Amino acid sequence: KIKMRLKQYLILMFLFSFAYGFSQPQDMYVVTFTDKNNSSHIVSKPETFLSSKAIEKRMRLNIPITEEDLPINENYIDFLKTFSAIKIVTQSKWMNYVVITCNNQLLLETLKYITFINKITQLHEIDYNNLDIQFTDRNYSFFNQLETFHDTTGLAYYGEAAKQIGIHNGHYLHQLGYKGDNMLIVMLDNGYNSLDTLEFFSDFFQSNRFLGTHDAANEENYNIYRDGTHGTMVLSTMALNRPYTYVGTAPHADYFLIRTEMSYYEDISEEYYWAAGAEFADSLGADVVNSSLGYTTFDIGEQNHTFSDLNGKRSVASIAASKLAQKGCIVSISAGNQGDKYWRYISVPADAPDALCVAAMNTDSIVASFSSIGHATFDYVKPDITSVGWNTAYCTIYDTLSKGNGTSFAAPIISGLSACLWQAFPKKSSLEIMEAIRQSSHLYNHSDSSYGYGIPDFRKAYRMLSENSTNEMTDNHIVIIYPNPTSDYIYIKTFQETPDFTFIISDINGRKLSEHRSYKQTFSLDVSNLANGIYFITVKQANNPSTVRKFIKN
């Protein structure tokens, strides 16, 4: 069918297939497709478009893989690429569109008659009714009258970060052994300037907790380490691991860094990059996504948001944030820094109902005047919670520790602790973990537009989830692998009395390399033939969810 369509539009292609030179700003358009028919991908073979970690998580949490997860029909994209006047900028499989640049209006008008193209609109004029989303009903009941208890024992270990983790009882999780091991945190930010050269991040690289980078804007010759200081500073609040100097909220987690924000202009296209970054994070199997970004006004005034847009359905970024949460990811987003400015309110995509919108306070629990607020007319409480974003300790791009202000720091503190909490309860869904965090907060029964539900207590959240769980065993106690890193053999130990396991080794791109079967509690694998790098072992067992472990071959 596609070939016939291409033949029918041969004359059209001839008329418009000539070179165009582009310069910023370019006219961008959203091309929405009617379907995903005849795609080379099928739902029954998710390994072609999702990583093994993502598939394992969907199976463990009983989250279906649907047609929405399928990549866009590549024939449709290839058809658009035949026109030299068109450049594909970004895309969304969840919402079945591509963003293009094209300065030829006649071509755009003609393309509207293509049978598999639903609509072509400018970015800020897209019909969001076509991108509708059903929000999750919060029917998780964890709340009880557990007394809030703050234990300051051991806080000196965290150095400059002590107060910002202590105020949430985050160190309680760490003392139980939950520091983010085997949890994947993905960041959506504006670049990670100097990250590869900073001594403070030496452990981050040496311990192989850094899994890679991706540029959602697809700029040619872009260097993610030489643009944007914001991402580096935000990352430091979670990832640093310098005992008695600075220890972040998830010092053992794995991290993947995505650039979605442009440093030199403010344009609504960044919301589309955000959506693309969210989908990429999902395909990696992200457990937590942190986004210290927000959008209200732009360089082009007609793109600006209005207050009525803050309903979770008026931006592709907000829609993507809720979809990401529903597909098994904790999403933590900064509320914004407009509280003392004309706008005042939270920003997009922090308005997504199924994401955590995080306001800023200082370590004395006083909310910051700059922290963006919610409103009584919202259908749900925003911001959701509050963390330290005022006088927050972080690492600069000059390899020094400093203190700064912004809800950008509050969100990652919550992201890191959320990863540690979920590590303790891997069978709980992302939505359940986020709701437990809300219900652990000090104003849960008396929320307001500044604090939201208030200051989360992760000791309390842990106890609430523990009481709610019946004999739930963490997958950390089901399977262990050692030594890690390794140069030749890796040993897999299970704690089942009658073991029957299948082990699948995959590379970092989710490509299956080998499969093995074992009926023993300890099983050895020869990995000496593998190239040096990061790999994953998926452990499948009858009547139990799959488990994924990372190992390093060196």
* pLDDT tens figures, 203-213: 999 999 999 99
Which range of 43-57, 122-136, 497-511 scores highest in mean pLDDT? It is 43-57
Q: Identify the three-state secondary structure at position 185.
A: strand
Asked if residue 6 has pLDDT above 70, the reply is no
H-run or E-run covering 13: helix 10-16
Helices marked H in 285-405: 316-326
The per-residue pLDDT for 495 is: 60
What are the strands, taking DSSP E only, across 24-116?
A: 28-33, 87-92, 97-101
Order of strands across the sheet that contains 385-388: 210-215, 254-259, 184-189, 288-291, 330-334, 356-361, 385-388
Pairing of the two strands 356-361 and 330-334: parallel
- Cα distance between residue 396 and residue 195, in whole Å: 10
Report pTM. 0.84
The per-residue pLDDT for 532 is: 86
The per-residue pLDDT for 542 is: 66
Least confident residue range of 81-95, 187-201, 469-483, 536-550: 469-483
Least confident residue range of 34-38, 413-417, 541-545: 541-545
Question: Do residues 49 and 94 touch, judged by C-beta distance below 8 A?
Answer: no
Q: Identify the three-state secondary structure at position 357.
A: strand
DSSP state of 241: E
| pLDDT tens-digit map of 358-415 | 999 999 999 999 999 999 999 999 999 999 999 999 999 999 999 999 999 999 999 9
Q: What is the mean pLDDT of residues 268-288?
A: 97
The per-residue pLDDT for 412 is: 98
Q: What is the mean pLDDT of residues 414-423?
A: 97
**Average pLDDT of the chain?**
89
β-sheet bridge partners, residue 452: 448
